[in-house]
Structure 1
Amino acid sequence: MGEVRKLQKKLRQIENLEIKFSLTPEERFKISRKAELRSRLAELQLQLSGPQQTLGILGDEKKEKMKRQVEDAPEALPSPHPPASKILKGGKVSKAQAAPAPTARRQDGGGGAETAGQLERTESVCVSDPCRDAAEAQRQEEDKFTQLRSAWEKARFRLRRLEGHNDIVTCVVAINSMVVSGSRDTTVKVWHVPTATEHKNLGGHSGGVTCLSAPPPEFCKRLAWSLSLSDKERFILSGSADCCVKIWALDIGQCVKSIYTFNAVTALCFVPEGDGYIVTGSDGGKVQAWSWHTFQNCQSINAHQEAVTSLQSQGPLVFSGSAEGGVSVWENRCSERDPLRLLHHWSGQVTGCGGGGPDGRLALSPRGERLFVAHGRAWLKILEWRSGMMSRLTNHSSLSGVTDCAHQTGGLLIGSCYDLANGESSLNLFSMPGCRYMASLTWPQAPRILCLATWTTGSGDHRWVTGGRDLIVWEQLPSSGKQRGDVTVWRNSCLESSSLESEGDTEDGEDTDDPDEDEDEDDQGGDERRRRRRSDAEDSGGAGSSWMRCALQ
């Protein structure tokens, strides 16, 4: 397995090199070896696929661990995004325990024995009712899951490629019938989904666009009123490696405000609390808050050691993830100065996402007290952010799999999956809140998916957009129609038997990368490159940092 892991590591590094802004001759040479390395990895995996070792995440000697399931009680959530007050209070909902009322005994002497027998039978029925109710609820839940899985197995999608960007698409946002995309080519584009045509080309950044965020309509109305624009105007925020956050009015296609942050912007989100806040993350690990009312800086925090790669909001909470694997949870106190208060910070050692170095990436997706983390491996990590407890969900049948993003829509969890060994890409679907695998979606020559946005139509059909090498709109077709879909729906048997696993049960199967380990042991220039990488990491935070060159979210 040693050579397999080395090949997987080299292929992962090559994939990251391919999405950098610029390449050295040495890096181009490494990329040229990708086909050779893939061929060798496929050969080794074939040799290991005998009875003593499977292609799955764990070998046969660990099958018992794979079978153990972590008890995961479904969250008592009224909606995918519970009220923030309940999240902050952390209170537990009390369960009413109704005891059966005692049965009155008959006082007549002749019916004493019969009455006692009836009482025993009544009490027996009362005691067994909760068991029957639980069994019935479990059966209904299982039937519901079976129906949902069957529906997704029959799902059909039409794919339409949106042509216009001339470089990697790093971020996407869906607004009504429009899709907004940001690219390494420095542009933000607005697309009309029904016609799959470019609606607006928003050029103004001088560096690659790394992140997008859409304020809610009520906050858009406030800004539109202050700018004497139509109250139907929608705005989009874009962050870039040029250290700017720009606010675009989509209908008029103009930048109405530009905020200079003094650092390359690698992540941002909008917090719809109080007067509204823009929260940005930089390639040097800084988290900053900006007032939506004045656009002035409210707070600057050196929150992480490496680049902030993801920012997500949930009510008054803000979640930040960084390249070194750390995750922080912040509370927005809606104040003019220093609105963000740190609630929890979990290091890369706790999350198990460390070791990626400055090129590491984390993508976050919060749900209640759970935080789903995609970190470039074959698993989705799940962090109980109050306690720091970690579990993981298998998202690929081989260690050569890469998970770049996770996204939730309604009761569905979507994880992107890319195979380093053969270049195949797919989306895996899990039901929520139990995280049970349902199906996988792919199509011929599917590119690596780096970002994802979803919405539903008035009829409840799904519309998705995925970005990476290609920008693609997914349109769900009616089940009763005769049109043939472009997507292949299949079941991965390795994922069907997987369940949520505690980190303690499976950490020995983790494929970690040592950032100081040289890619080629026989390379005489390895020591010099290691020294150069350490120097680059120490100097990160400027325009030359590796995160800015990758410009991913």
Structure 2
Amino acid sequence: MGEVRKLQKKLRQIENLEIKINLLPEERFKISRKEELRRRLAEIQPQPCGPQRAPENRQADMKRAGEDTPEGLPSQAPPASKILRPGTGGSAATAQRQLRAPHVAPVSHEGQDASEERQPAQEDKELTSLKTCWQKAKFRLRLLEGHNDIITCVLAVDNLVVSGSRDTTVKVWHVPTATEHKNLGGHAGGVTCLSAPPPVYCKKLAWLLSLSDDERFILSGSADCNVKIWALSVGQCVKSIYTFNAVTALCFVPEGDGYIVTGSDGGKVQAWSWRALDNCQSINAHQEAVTSIQAQGPLVFSGSSDGAVSVWENRCSERDPLKRLHYWNGQVTGCGGGRLVLSPRGDRVLMAYGRAWIKILHWTTGTVSRLTNHGSVTGVTDCVHQTAGLLISSCYDVGNGESALNLFCLPQCHYLASLTWPLAPRILCFAAWTTGSGDHRWVSGGRDLVVWEQLPNSGKQRGDITVKRDVRLESPLESEGDTEDDEETDEHLDDDEDDDDARGGEEEGSGAAGSWLRCLLQ
């Protein structure tokens, strides 16, 4: 197994090199050995499942998206909640509601035992129906071309997709036509994060700036230490906040008068008034870079690259609005050494941290469980997203270069299916939304910016994705105490002459995602 671990470590380090902005000649040579190392790894430890990557052109493959459907026609695909049981009307919505919340049996003394027996059977039936429907799912993919570097963040606003890139630009895309709508240039460093205030808060700022009441604004954070506020209709920066630190994460908190909360590469968390755009609070909250900030009602969650998670309460005060309720360090979460991405829901926070698992932190108690997101230790999870009763996570294998989106149903986190396509790139960021007619759409970013549009299962339109199932992801949630010995250890091996060959300037054996964050700030 020593040879296998060394090859896995080399491939992780090569992945780190590939996402650097500037490469030295010796680094390019190391990258050129990637396929050779993958072949050697496959010979020693063949991968049991997963489609082979066909030698196709990725851009040409997705440009054919308009061949089956006229460009001007909107997709008539149903949302996830509409594909549960084709042809059964309202039962689909009923099934979706049952999957969103635990089943509660009716109170009856005489029929209590029978009800308890029916509950597992009903849940199994609904889960089987979900799996069957997702195995038939079809998506049309649209490649949005325009960025010349890695896409680091994406979001959806109305009928628009907004993307931020390490090329320092923010771009706005019109989804129905898959065309660039606005190019927002103004940052001097890579764009690291985006956020969109709700319409009611946009209206307040528009009034102060004498703009239309229906103006929409977006926020962008950058390694140039600035947070910029952009007006989408005119494509201009209307306000800029200098934070004195490279901005690595931000979110808008829609409580009270509204707040912008930012995180820095040095671990600082800051709050900014939406009304006056002045600094309300600065806290040295984390030991390392803040990589994710998410809001859930009056609560704010921040995560850092050392694996620590802080939970804050917004007290809606003019000064020091954030009060820390809980702090769990990397020893508790088990997520140290990577780019930590958070997705809170209720009393749980789902965490992606550049490994083959998704960690789930019960933030009130500090208990941790994990969900298998890849069948191999060479798997990488870069992003995780919850929407419409679904948990959607990215999955990338550094051993063979295969990439996919994994789907799980909530709240039980049962595995449903994996979606991929030939030559799919590593997915570093993700957003999901529904159109006004209820159609389900996603956008993923990384090397490519791709819009996913769900197609009717019964239509003649050809989908661009392959739906597969990985039986290795069928395992239920596991408590952290039972699995910590299974954590990947290849980066802790002693370096030898072969390991120096692929080190690529990485001073510590951190995960691929952690290196991605450092490269982003160069």
Task: Please say whether Structure 1 and Structure 2 have the same fold, judged by a TM-score greater than 0.5.
Answer: yes
- The residue correspondences of 1:5-404 to structure 2 (distance < 5 A) are 5-46=5-46, 127-354=109-336, 356=337, 360-404=338-382
Partner of 1:502: 479
- By how many angstroms is 1:6 displaced? 2.5
Cα RMSD for the two superposed structures: 2.9
Change (3 A) 1:326 1:24: farther
* Residue type of the alignment partner of 1:260: Y
Kept in 2: contact 1:283–1:548 (CA 8 A): no
- The residue correspondences of 1:447-458 to structure 2 (distance < 5 A) are 447-458=425-436
Change (3 A) 1:133 1:318: same
* Residue type of the alignment partner of 1:319: F
User: What is the CA deviation profile of residues 327-371 of structure 1, one whole-angstrom value per residue up to 9, with x for unaligned ones?
Assistant: 1111111111111111111111111112x2xxx211110110111
Identity %: 71
Change (3 A) 1:181 1:525: closer
CA distance in 1, matches of 2:175, 2:452: 10
Partner of 1:473: 451
* Residue type of the alignment partner of 2:7: L
- By how many angstroms is 1:480 displaced? 2.7
- By how many angstroms is 1:528 displaced? 13
Change (3 A) 1:527 1:19: closer
CA distance in 1, matches of 2:356, 2:124: 27
Partner of 2:88: none
Higher alpha-carbon Rg: 1
CA distance in 2, matches of 1:406, 1:232: 31
Change (3 A) 1:398 1:341: same
Kept in 2: contact 1:7–1:41 (CA 8 A): yes
Change (3 A) 1:80 1:128: closer
Change (3 A) 1:252 1:326: same
- By how many angstroms is 1:158 displaced? 0.3
Moved more, 13-22 or 281-290: 13-22
Partner of 1:66: none
- By how many angstroms is 1:513 displaced? 6.0
Q: TM-score, normalising length from structure 2?
A: 0.85
Unaligned runs of 5+ in 2: 51-95, 510-514
Unaligned runs of 5+ in 1: 56-76, 83-92, 99-125, 535-544
Q: TM-score, normalising length from structure 1?
A: 0.80
Q: For this pair of structures, how many residues does the alignment match?
A: 472
User: What is the CA deviation profile of residues 72-125 of structure 1, one whole-angstrom value per residue up to 9, with x for unaligned ones?
Assistant: xxxxx999999xxxxxxxxxx9x9996xxxxxxxxxxxxxxxxxxxxxxxxxxx
Change (3 A) 1:449 1:528: closer
Match of 2:387 among 401, 404, 409: 409
Kept in 1: contact 2:231–2:238 (CA 8 A): yes
- By how many angstroms is 1:30 displaced? 3.0
* Residue type of the alignment partner of 2:116: A
SS of the counterpart of 1:267?
Answer: strand
Change (3 A) 1:401 1:97: closer
Kept in 1: contact 2:169–2:186 (CA 8 A): yes
Partner of 1:464: 442
Kept in 2: contact 1:417–1:426 (CA 8 A): yes
* Residue type of the alignment partner of 1:456: T
* Residue type of the alignment partner of 2:32: S
Change (3 A) 1:200 1:519: farther
SS of the counterpart of 2:111?
Answer: helix
Kept in 2: contact 1:461–1:476 (CA 8 A): yes
- By how many angstroms is 1:207 displaced? 0.6
CA distance in 2, matches of 1:379, 1:428: 12
Kept in 2: contact 1:520–1:526 (CA 8 A): no
- By how many angstroms is 1:16 displaced? 2.0
Change (3 A) 1:218 1:206: same
Partner of 2:63: none
- By how many angstroms is 1:518 displaced? 6.3
- The residue correspondences of 1:517-536 to structure 2 (distance < 5 A) are 519-521=495-497
Change (3 A) 1:81 1:173: farther
CA distance in 1, matches of 2:208, 2:287: 38
- By how many angstroms is 1:376 displaced? 0.5
CA distance in 2, matches of 1:485, 1:96: 40
* Residue type of the alignment partner of 1:491: R
